[in-house]
């Protein structure tokens, strides 16, 4: 079943964020993942949403998503991510 990782992001250091963003795609390739969306919030249509940016990554399955997140390659980027932004990462399995 296809899985998605959605990141809700508030950038604190744009230069470090750009560095982090440039390094993430190489960590996705071994897991068959695809970057579906990187976007900046245009408008909150309902409710409250504190983050300004969103990323959506598609994986072939949940195991691949978890293995990517726990991989040495991605974990090596986590300190840079933490310096660059406040990030909430959530995984989802697609129903269809």
Q: Is the pLDDT of residue 96 over 90?
A: no
pTM (two decimals):
0.92
Residues contacting residue 43 through CB under 8 Å, at least 6 positions apart: none
Total tally of structural domains belonging to the chain: 1
Residues contacting residue 19 through CB under 8 Å, at least 6 positions apart: 80, 84
For residue 41, give both structure tokens.
Answer: 């919030």
16: CATH: 3.30.70.100
Condensed to tens digits (0 to 9), the pLDDT of residues 30-88 reads: 999 999 999 998 899 999 999 999 999 999 999 999 999 999 999 999 999 999 999 99
Q: Which domain holds residue 10?
A: 3-42+50-93
């Amino acid at each position: 079943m296809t899985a998605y990782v959605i990141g809700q992001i508030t950038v604190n250091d744009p230069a470090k964020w750009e560095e982090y963003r440039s390094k993430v795609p190489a960590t996705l390739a071994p897991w068959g993942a695809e970057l579906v969306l990187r976007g900046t919030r245009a408008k909150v249509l309902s409710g409250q949403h504190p983050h300004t940016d969103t990323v959506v990554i598609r994986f072939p399955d949940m195991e691949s998503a978890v293995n990517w997140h726990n991989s040495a390659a991605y974990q090596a980027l986590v300190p840079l991510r933490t310096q660059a932004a406040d990030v909430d990462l959530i995984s989802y399995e697609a129903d269809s």
